[in-house]
Amino acid sequence: MSDRQEMAECCKVISAYAVRRGIGVKKMVNEFPALGSAKTFIDLRNGKYEGYSLENHLPNYQAVARHVAEGAGSEERYALPAVEAIENALKAVMRSWGLDRVTFVDGESGTGKTTAARMLCAKYGTRLMMVEATEVWDDSPGAFLRAILRAFGVLTAPASKVDALDRVLELQSVTRRCLIVDEAHHLGPRCLNVLKTLVNQSPGEFCLIGIPSMWAKLHKQAYAEARQLSTNRMSERVAVVLDDRAVAAYVQGVFPDAAAAEIKAAARVIRPAATQHGNMAFVRDVCREVEELAQDAVIAAVQRVASRK
């Protein structure tokens, strides 16, 4: 399939999403800045490619199309408060030209951190890129750098770690990008020192997402050289927690016609059990169990779901 054909397919998927949502082009491009202006989207949708670089626009349109095709609405309910908090933090750091360009996002598993990051990658397109750290890397700088290069679209990385680092710095210097590292609690001191070098020598932003142990690690002696990441290199620390507001946001998405008082009451019942049994996944399962937010029905659903955990 040619780039023009692929762009046409992406525009069809995105347009169908807008129709389902009942939103116009202006609202849609505000929701997904990666699409560019309203005029840009209309021109590309209508096959008017003259004056546009498909090489630059197509990856963004592909990201948005994948996101809406995979059911953006349900994910938005799942991670709404986390999306808002992380997006605000990233917007702030994108305005910085100092060294304070590292954002930490920490929270327990299941609170919506990863889902929020994926949504933001779809929303902002190639302005953000995301890699997932893993313990299999065994704190290898080479593995970390190869993952970053793959996120840039470089499938064959240089054999030398020095050359790989130079290539990443070169790519980061050409276009300012925000690198999101999910599961960042798997990064050891050597990988974090590489990240500190990227902060010092390139203009991009960096977002580390992980469980609370990620933050605790940086205060251990073995991580002393990387500690600057959490001091004068840090822009903000975002703590993602499962509170009544987060639960209520999800419940409201499932039951949009319910009264505010019912939603708040349901959230107060669900949240304590959710923190013990999988966080947002538990909230999702409870919502699937009830047809209305009557207090007795919600309590019974919480008990049924908890008994299966």
Q: What is the CATH number of the domain that holds 161?
A: 3.40.50.300
Tell me what pLDDT residue 118 has: 87
pTM confidence score: 0.81
What is the CA angle 158-114-126, rounded to 5?
Answer: 50
Give the CB-side neighbour count of residue 164, counting CA atoms within 13 A: 20
Q: What is the largest CA-CA distance in the chain?
A: 63
Q: What value does the CA radius of gyration of the chain take, rounded to a whole number of Å? A: 21
Contacts of 75 (CB under 8 A, 6+ apart): 115, 118, 119
What are the tens digits of pLDDT across the range 195-240?
A: 999 999 999 999 999 999 999 888 899 999 999 999 999 999 999 9
Angle CA 285–287–291, to nearest 5: 130
Q: What total number of domains does the chain contain?
A: 3
| Residue 85 and residue 50 share a domain | no
For the chain, give the percent of residues with pLDDT over 90: 72
218-222: Cβ within 8 A, 24+ apart: 218/192, 222/189
The DSSP secondary-structure symbol of 95 reads: T
Residues 191, 145 share a domain: yes
For residue 216, what are the CA distances in angstroms to 64, 117, 227, 228, 275?
A: 35, 22, 11, 14, 21
Which among 19, 41, 70 is the end of a domain? 70
Claim to verify: residue 38 and residue 153 sit in the same structural domain: no
Query: Are 81 and 200 found together in one domain?
Result: yes
Which of 239, 267, 298 corresponds to the end of one domain? 239
Cα distance between residue 251 and residue 220, in whole Å: 40
Please give the mean pLDDT across all residues of the chain: 91
Q: Is the pLDDT of residue 149 over 90?
A: yes
Does residue 201 sit in the same domain as residue 289?
A: no
Can you tell me the distance from the alpha carbon of 68 to that of 58, in angstroms, rounded to the nearest whole number? Answer: 15
Q: Are residues 207 and 228 in the same domain?
A: yes
Instruction: Determine the Cα–Cα distance for residues 240 and 104; give it in Å rounded to an integer.
Output: 10
Domain end residue (candidates: 51, 70, 89): 70
Position 247 pLDDT exceeds 90 = yes
Shared domain check, 120 and 235: yes
Neighbouring residues of 146: CB distance < 8 A, sequence distance ≥ 6: 157, 164
Read off the pLDDT band of 83 (50, 70, 90).
confident
Over 70: is that where the pLDDT of 76 sits? Answer: no
Say whether both 51 and 83 belong to one domain.
no
Do 142 and 49 fall into the same domain?
no
CA separation for the pair 288, 17 (Å, rounded): 24
Nearest to 191 by CA among 151, 143, 136, 261: 143
**26 and 87 belong to one structural domain:** no
Tally Cβ neighbours within 10 Å of residue 6.
15
- Given a cut of 80, is residue 96 above it in pLDDT? yes
Residue range(s) defining the domain that contains residue 87? 75-239
